[in-house]
Amino acid sequence: MYIAKQGYFQVKIPLCGYNNKKDFGVIYMPVAHKTVISFGLVAIPVSMYTAVQDNDIHFNQLHKEDNQRIKYKKTCAHCGKEITTGDIIKGYEYDADHYIIVTDDDMDKIKTEKDKSIQILHFAQLNQISPVYYEKTYQAVPEAGGEKAFELLRAALMSEQKIAIGKTVIGTKEELLAIIPREDGMLISTMFYEDDIKELPKAYNKPQLSEPELIMAKTLINSMDTPFTPSDYKDGYQLKLKELIENKIAGKDIAAVKSDGPNNVINLMDALKASIEQNKKEPDKTKRTRKAKGA
């Protein structure tokens, strides 16, 4: 649920330590960025919310001798004093040890109204853009009064199977953006510029493929063709890591996992045939389970 006045999303999440799906807590997702989508004479005020979250297990760095936390202090290179975040300002080194100070007010002064909004430059087919250009994704939510224009843009893009390419200034960078329609809303992805992308390595020497090999590979692909359901996939290694931590807390020994052993299949056609036969024997439910476990 969107709380318009506070500029927050209200999201229900499972409470830590509870397995019952009915036990939920409520968190409020702050706005990552507020802006206006502009195309032609149409202006759509929107809020951008981060679309992903970090669920990975993170470790602290400890001193090997006494298992205590390692702390990093910020100090001034000139006077040696320890400083806090409030003591830090931005400076640009234009010569050795010579800086000019740049404040947030300075940067705001050079922003035009266009810089503060998302200017749609043109529209394009989604499959025209290589995935390597996408950087970070946000969920776009219309502000009060912008719902009709927002829905009109979303519906038109969905109907034409297109995305919008635009620009806006976020922080100290002019971001290239892709506005992507979905059935239930729109996503805004920041994009890398062409000079941000490394040159592809030298092309490999492509071997000749026989028609039977290609047919067999297509058969295997089609036999494993199922709709992508995000909930079917879990980070299996993170689950093992959580179990390891719980066992160590409980003082249990950690048993090494047995290796599956080397793959001795040499002939490509034999490998394809064996894969197809194995896949035929597995029911759909088993296949989804294997995918979720990273098989």
pLDDT on residue 62: 94
pTM: 0.70
pLDDT on residue 266: 59
Let me know: does 170 contact 159? Beta carbons within 8 Å. Answer: no
177-231 pLDDT, tens digit each: 999 999 999 999 999 999 999 887 777 788 888 898 899 889 888 888 888 888 8
pLDDT bracket for residue 113 (50, 70, 90): confident
pLDDT on residue 8: 45
Q: What is the number of other CB atoms lying within 10 angstroms of the CB of residue 122?
A: 9
Q: What percent of the chain has pLDDT over 70?
A: 83
pLDDT on residue 282: 66
30 sits in which H/E element: strand 24-30
CA distances from 199 to 9, 19, 250 (A): 40, 47, 50
Tokens of residue 287, six digits: 């296949």
Axis crossing angle, helix 268-281 with helix 211-223, rounded to the nearest 10: 20
pLDDT bracket for residue 31 (50, 70, 90): confident
As a whole number of angstroms, the distance between CA 118 and CA 116 comes to 7
Is a pLDDT exceeding 80 seen at residue 141? Answer: yes
The CA radius of gyration of the chain, in Å to the nearest whole number, is 26
Q: What does pLDDT average to over the chain?
A: 82
- What the chain holds in terms of domains, given with CATH numbers, is 1-30 (no CATH), 33-52+88-197 (2.40.290.10), 211-292 (no CATH)
37-88 pLDDT, tens digit each: 998 888 999 999 988 888 899 999 999 999 999 998 999 988 999 999 899 9
pLDDT on residue 9: 47
pLDDT on residue 187: 95
Is a pLDDT exceeding 60 seen at residue 265? Answer: no
